Structure 1
Amino acid sequence: MRHPIHVTSEIGELKTVLLHRPGKEVENLTPEFLHKLLFDDIPYLPTIQKEHDYFANALKNRGVEVLYLENLLTEVLSSEEIRLQFIDQFLAESKSNVNGARETLKEYLLSFPTDQMVDKMIAGVMKTEIEEGKKTHLYEFMADHYPFYLDPMPNLYFTRDPAAAIGNGLSINRMREGARRRESMFMEYIIKYHPRFAKHDVPVWLNRDYEFAIEGGDELILSKSTVAIGVSARTSARAIEKLALNLFKRQSDITKIVAVEIPKSRAFMHLDTVFTMVDYDKFTIHPAIQGPDGNMRIYILEKGKDSEHVKITERSNLTECLKEVLGLDEIQLIPCGGGDVIASAREQWNDGSNTLAISPGVVVTYDRNYVSNELLRASGIEVIEVPSSELSRGRGGPRCMSMPIMREDI
């Protein structure tokens, strides 16, 4: 069997992708706790599931193998030993023991069949679910104060962020926000224990126990030799440098990391919310990330004088930097919303720049971003639109909702 992880570009033909179908966790959002759980609105579950199914089917119709995160984890946890280990770690990272309910919650989770237990961990456990006779602490009786023992994980359908495939390995990421930090546990267990991956000894370039944050939405594989990473609200320069050092030590194909600083704001959450690759020489971009004359703060990291240092050189122009690292004479930047002051801001908020390339010049986008989609088509890109009235409420587009694990080389 060929190696189960292989991603050497953003645009190579997509063969296998990892998704998570939104579930009860999005119904456990309430206005009071939206900010804590990193949402701006509450999706309508039946519709968001229909839209997600449409997205998955659009990929399947193009020959893409779709794997579901929850199914892989269920298969991993079919082993009682691993299931108990996972529950203990999950409860510890949920800080359940701080409130003294750990054993009660463990017993409750183990009362479910494995697939339902996984769904319950994702959906969250409410205080009202535990029978009164098993409650021994005052806070447990105060569901009106805070309703959850275990917080729901509504961001999990953005499978791009907890881990990212780079070459034949992965970064398993420490997420910036506490509301998302448990998510990368799922991929950690899948890679370590699922038979599809475990026997291949998949290299982990950076693990989730590293103290500085990095998220997959900031990691873009420009070519076999070059990775672009956003320095953003969710990804730190320290993590980028550590990942670069590890890559340079442990493999030889990737020789450049391009660190691109973007404004740290909710609208510009990750690099892929403002910039994606759609063809060999074409990229989407939100014009607001560039300064006068296209200037930005960009740094190229390469092997340094020894294994503990990187060589850092600065660039200021994104177009020129991309031409340099990709060996191209010309590139085309396709502006989100056509660069119009209203349309570009509106469509970027609705992830107009967050495209998922499934082969060179073929992308999946949200249907609501009609200005950007028509510009892509005018630039020779085939656009596959998916419905997005509810999916877009989570502030992530088709790239955010997908974790490619296998692409053909270009």
Structure 2
Amino acid sequence: MTSPIHVNSEIGKLKTVMLKRPGKEVENITPDIMYRLLFDDIPYLPTIQKEHDYFAKTLQDNGVEVVYLEDLSAEAIDAGNVKEEFLDKMLQESNIKSDSIREALKKYLFAMETQDMVEKIMAGVRTNEIDVKSKALIDVSADDEYPFFMDPMPNLYFTRDPAASMGDGLTINKMTYAARQRESMFMEVIMAHHPRFGNGEATVWRDRNHDDRMEGGDELVLNDKVLAIGISQRTSAQSIEELAVSLFKNKANFEKILAIKIPHNHAMMHLDTVFTMIDYDKFTIHPGIQGEGGNVDVYILENDGKDGVKISHRTDLQNVLKEALDEPELKLIPCGGGDAIVAPREQWNDGSNTLAIAPGVVVTYDRNYVSNELLRSEGIKVIEVLSSELSRGRGGPRCMSMPLVREDLNK
């Protein structure tokens, strides 16, 4: 039987991808709470939905099956008959200190059809939606100005981060910030109960029940032997080493992890915001991650022969990639052409965050016209998608997509 998850590269022809269409959760961002929710701006819902639908249609027009997180989640909950169990866990992780509010929320949400419940959890529950009658001090003294009992999850349209496919399995991630930590619970229930994914038979290399953080935007599958993972604002060195141990102990195909250290800031929050693979021998890169002489700290994790890890350190990223991928000639194409003004501007709008749908074929935001033309001049086919509102969330086409199945590379 073909595995429901099969991703052995960043560039193999994309066959199946999971998206999340932006919903009411985006309209529930306000200026007072947008930073708490990890947003710098407030997208306009009708337009962001139009742009996301254009993105999905672009993928479908190129032969990609598109499935949606919100639909798979509801189907999995019903298939596993775990509606109450899922809801209890979601409420437990929603930082609700009041027993009265928690019980009222459970009653309100559990009465909904499963699909409606999932979408309402994602959108958030406002305080004016439920009448909570309680004389407990925690309730009568509560902050009347905060508008939510359950926070919205507007980052969900970046499906890349809560989980990441690699080989015939995946990681389900412990995410860094409270605003996003509940998101991976949807992937957890899908993998455990959805018939498409074997009702719990899919291999989970690393689950969300860890102390340390990891996010899918930092996880790149360079080929069936080599991973690249960013040591970043959102993924720790400890979690990368833990994943390496798991892969080696579980006899995964992967033999090497390139742990690439990038600056820890919001503009470069994940490795894929500064570095993506677009062809066998070509990568996009943001010059801002390179030090003097183009140096980047790369830690190479390999099996020590006892299912443990041995680590070596290099700073010549281009040569490390050449050796790891067995490519004698390899090009790093700078975002914005490396221009002092253009590069950071297009980087802010995810100029390096490309989604490869086949070798040498990428989907990019139309607003990054300098980077796009540079890619074309290097022989890359560039398919542009609309981006005026999608880009406000600080994530590009790769961030918005979780590949589930790619064709293996012939080379």
Q: Which residue of 1 aligns with 2:155?
A: 155
Q: Which residue of 1 aligns with 2:402?
A: 403
Q: Distance in 2 between matches of 1:80 and 1:166?
A: 25
Q: Distance in 2 between matches of 1:141 and 1:68?
A: 40
Q: Which residue of 2 aligns with 1:360?
A: 359
159-168 or 111-120: which moved more? 111-120
Q: 1:306 offset after TM fit, Å?
A: 2.5
Q: Which residue of 2 aligns with 1:208?
A: 208
1:374 aligns with 2:376: no
TM-superposition CA deviations, 1:182-233 (whole Å, max 9, x none): 0000001001100000247111100100111000000000010000000000
Equivalent residue letter for 1:55: F
Q: Distance in 1 between matches of 2:140 and 2:338?
A: 52
67-76 or 191-200: which moved more? 191-200
CA contact (8 A) 1:127 1:141 kept: no
CA contact (8 A) 2:192 2:200 kept: no
Q: 1:292 offset after TM fit, Å?
A: 1.4
Q: Which residue of 2 aligns with 1:260?
A: 260
Q: Distance in 2 between matches of 1:141 and 1:59?
A: 50
1:24 aligns with 2:31: no
Q: 1:304 offset after TM fit, Å?
A: 1.6
Q: 1:293 offset after TM fit, Å?
A: 1.4
CA contact (8 A) 1:135 1:141 kept: no
CA contact (8 A) 2:228 2:259 kept: yes
Q: Distance in 2 between matches of 1:137 and 1:147?
A: 19
Q: Distance in 2 between matches of 1:110 and 1:61?
A: 38
CA contact (8 A) 1:127 1:148 kept: yes
CA contact (8 A) 1:104 1:134 kept: no
Q: Which residue of 1 aligns with 2:191?
A: 191
Matches within 5 A, 1:7-86: 7-79=7-79, 81-86=81-86
CA contact (8 A) 1:17 1:66 kept: yes
CA contact (8 A) 1:127 1:140 kept: no
Q: 1:135 offset after TM fit, Å?
A: 8.2
Q: 1:145 offset after TM fit, Å?
A: 2.4
Q: Which residue of 2 aligns with 1:314?
A: 313
> Are the structure 2 counterparts of residues 134 and 53 from structure 1 closer, same or farther at C-alpha, using a change threshold of 3 Å?
farther
CA contact (8 A) 2:349 2:394 kept: yes
> Are the structure 2 counterparts of residues 280 and 80 from structure 1 closer, same or farther at C-alpha, using a change threshold of 3 Å?
closer
Q: Distance in 1 between matches of 2:317 and 2:12?
A: 22
Q: Which runs of 5+ in 2 are unaligned?
A: none
Q: 1:246 offset after TM fit, Å?
A: 0.3
CA contact (8 A) 2:125 2:151 kept: yes
1:123 aligns with 2:123: yes
Equivalent residue letter for 1:318: L
Q: Which runs of 5+ in 1 are unaligned?
A: none
Q: Distance in 2 between matches of 1:140 and 1:274?
A: 47
Calculate the TM-score normalised by the size of structure 2.
Answer: 0.97
Q: 1:253 offset after TM fit, Å?
A: 1.4
Helix, strand or coil for the counterpart of 1:31? Answer: coil
Q: Distance in 1 between matches of 2:115 and 2:167?
A: 31
318-327 or 89-98: which moved more? 89-98
Equivalent residue letter for 1:342: I
TM-superposition CA deviations, 1:62-86 (whole Å, max 9, x none): 0100000000011112258400100
Q: Which residue of 2 aligns with 1:327?
A: 326
TM-superposition CA deviations, 1:131-170 (whole Å, max 9, x none): 2557866647856421111000000000000000010001
TM-superposition CA deviations, 1:338-397 (whole Å, max 9, x none): 100110000000000000000000000000000000000000001110010000000000
Q: 1:116 offset after TM fit, Å?
A: 1.0
Q: Distance in 2 between matches of 1:38 and 1:252?
A: 34
Equivalent residue letter for 1:162: P
Equivalent residue letter for 1:362: V
Q: How many residues align?
A: 409
Q: Which residue of 2 aligns with 1:281?
A: 281
Q: 1:258 offset after TM fit, Å?
A: 0.4
Helix, strand or coil for the counterpart of 1:96? Answer: coil
TM-superposition CA deviations, 1:22-76 (whole Å, max 9, x none): 0000111011111110000000000000000000000000010000000001111
Q: CA-atom RMSD, angstroms?
A: 1.5
Equivalent residue letter for 1:315: R
Q: Which residue of 2 aligns with 1:304?
A: 304
Helix, strand or coil for the counterpart of 1:12? Answer: coil
Equivalent residue letter for 1:115: Q
> Are the structure 2 counterparts of residues 196 and 348 from structure 1 closer, same or farther at C-alpha, using a change threshold of 3 Å?
same
97-106 or 15-24: which moved more? 97-106
Q: Distance in 2 between matches of 1:375 and 1:136?
A: 62
Helix, strand or coil for the counterpart of 2:297? Answer: strand
Q: Distance in 1 between matches of 2:385 and 2:326?
A: 33
> Are the structure 2 counterparts of residues 330 and 98 from structure 1 closer, same or farther at C-alpha, using a change threshold of 3 Å?
farther
1:391 aligns with 2:393: no
Calculate the TM-score normalised by the size of structure 1.
Answer: 0.97
Q: 1:103 offset after TM fit, Å?
A: 1.1
TM-superposition CA deviations, 1:92-116 (whole Å, max 9, x none): 0112244541111100001211111
Q: Distance in 2 between matches of 1:274 and 1:80?
A: 39
Q: Distance in 1 between matches of 2:297 and 2:342?
A: 25
1:345 aligns with 2:383: no
Q: Distance in 2 between matches of 1:283 and 1:337?
A: 13
